[in-house]
């Protein structure tokens, strides 16, 4: 599958999505979050396009997690943390057996309902779109060939419980692939701030405003060592992708909107390129790179 086609899929439908008032209002409502406040003075259509493009970029990244995995239209695929349903709708429209989880509880940005509006506008079957937490995945009553997530694991406070549940819904020869933050590298991408190394929660000493943030309170500050330990306890084999850091810098170079949001790292990218050191990133130990991308299989 060509993951770039997801962008073509939505660019050909963006006018239809914008003209639906309920969906348009749901997207524009995302300006309540600090990262989107800069768009408040923009015309309504431009606000919609900018915020929707952010969701689409993340959907492209999510779909790219499947690039190295063999699957077909008979494979059962589960996405954890499906957001506003962009990957789900794209795969479903192409005949794949996709299932999606996106909690509908308070504190999850109303993504579940936004996805339901999207499915209605695009006439996508929402029968396998569920408002469950990852730890509740057994409620679906299915076993899956593939389970994947993008930027979800750092928000799961009871990771052991979740891994145990996901293992139970994974087929014996199935595979999980996840992409999440590695907090051994002292940077928090949601807030775009550097952290106190090794003791990230102490960052509130310098940024006391973080204590009021629901998002901050919900971060588990996972790292490769903790992740490996959890997998060992859950009876899962883990294999890290050594190219995750290199791919992030490539994204900085090729994805303009992502580069704007993570502009603090542009000087680092320039230095690595002009010094030639960027070629050495693929040799970095996986435990020191962020994000961490990894595959999980049953032992």
Phi, psi of 179 (to 5 degrees): -130, 125
Q: For residue 151, is it left (φ>0), alpha (ψ between -120 and 50) or beta?
A: left
34 has pLDDT over 70: no
Q: Is the pLDDT of residue 2 over 90?
A: no
| Confidence at residue 120, expressed as pLDDT on a 0 to 100 scale | 98
Whether the full predicted model's pTM is greater than 0.85, yes or no, is yes
Mean pLDDT of the region 205-210:
95
Q: Is the pLDDT of residue 268 over 80?
A: no
Q: Report the pLDDT averaged over residues 242-257.
A: 74
The DSSP 8-state label assigned to residue 192 in this structure reads: T
Q: Assign residue 12 a region: left if phi > 0, alpha if psi is -120 to 50, beta otherwise?
A: alpha
Domains of the chain: 5-181+222-241 (3.40.50.150)
> Please, what's the b/e burial string for 243-264 (b: 16 or more CB within 10 A of its CB; e: otherwise)?
ebbbbbbebbeeeeebeeebee
Q: Mean pLDDT score of the chain, rounded to an integer?
A: 89
* DSSP E strands, 34-164: 76-80, 97-101, 129-130, 144-150
Q: How confident is the model at residue 266 (pLDDT cuts 50, 70, 90)?
A: confident
Whose tokens are 């899929």? That residue is 9
Residue 284: what pLDDT?
77
Across residues 56-69, what is the average pLDDT?
93
β-bridge mates for residue 194, sequence order: 187
Q: Which of residues 273 and 75 earns the better pLDDT score? A: 75
- Arithmetic mean of pLDDT, 57-71: 93
pLDDT number for residue 285: 81
For 151-174, the pLDDT digits (tens) are 999 999 999 999 999 999 999 999
- Give the pLDDT band of residue 212 (cuts 50, 70, 90): very high
Structure confidence at residue 3 as a pLDDT band (50, 70, 90):
very low
- Please check whether residue 30 is in contact with residue 59, taking contact to mean a CB–CB distance below 8 angstroms: no
Identify each DSSP E strand in 181-282 by its residue range.
187-188, 193-194, 236-240
Give the separation between CA 134 and CA 141, rounded to whole angstroms. 13
Residue 57 has pLDDT above 80, yes or no: yes
């Amino acid at each position: 599958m060509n993951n770039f086609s997801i962008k073509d899929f939505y660019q050909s439908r963006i006018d239809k999505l914008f003209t639906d008032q309920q969906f348009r209002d749901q997207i524009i409502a995302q300006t309540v979050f600090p990262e989107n406040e800069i768009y408040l003075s923009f015309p309504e259509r431009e606000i919609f396009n900018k915020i929707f493009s952010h969701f689409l970029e993340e959907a492209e990244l999510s779909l790219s997690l499947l690039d190295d995995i063999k699957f077909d239209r008979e494979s059962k695929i589960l996405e954890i943390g499906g957001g506003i349903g962009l990957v789900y709708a794209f795969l479903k429209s192409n005949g794949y057996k996709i299932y999606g989880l996106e909690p509908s509880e308070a504190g999850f940005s109303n993504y579940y309902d936004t996805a339901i509006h999207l499915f209605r506008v695009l006439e996508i079957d929402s029968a396998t779109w569920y408002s469950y937490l990852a730890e509740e995945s057994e409620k679906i009553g299915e076993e899956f060939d593939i389970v994947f997530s993008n930027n979800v694991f750092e928000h799961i406070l009871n990771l052991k419980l979740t891994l145990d549940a996901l293992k139970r819904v994974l087929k014996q020869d199935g595979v999980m692939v996840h992409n999440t933050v590695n907090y051994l590298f002292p940077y928090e991408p949601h807030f775009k701030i550097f952290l106190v190394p090794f003791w990230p929660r102490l960052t509130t000493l310098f940024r006391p405003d973080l204590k009021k943030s629901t998002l901050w309170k919900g971060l588990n500050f996972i790292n490769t060592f903790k992740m490996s330990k959890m997998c060992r306890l859950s009876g899962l084999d883990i294999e890290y992708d050594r190219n995750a850091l290199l791919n992030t810098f490539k994204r900085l170079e090729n994805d303009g909107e992502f580069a704007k949001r993570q502009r603090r790292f542009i000087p680092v990218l320039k230095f690595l390129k002009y010094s030639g050191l960027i070629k050495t990133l693929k040799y970095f130990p996986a435990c020191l790179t962020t994000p961490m991308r990894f595959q999980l299989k049953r032992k």
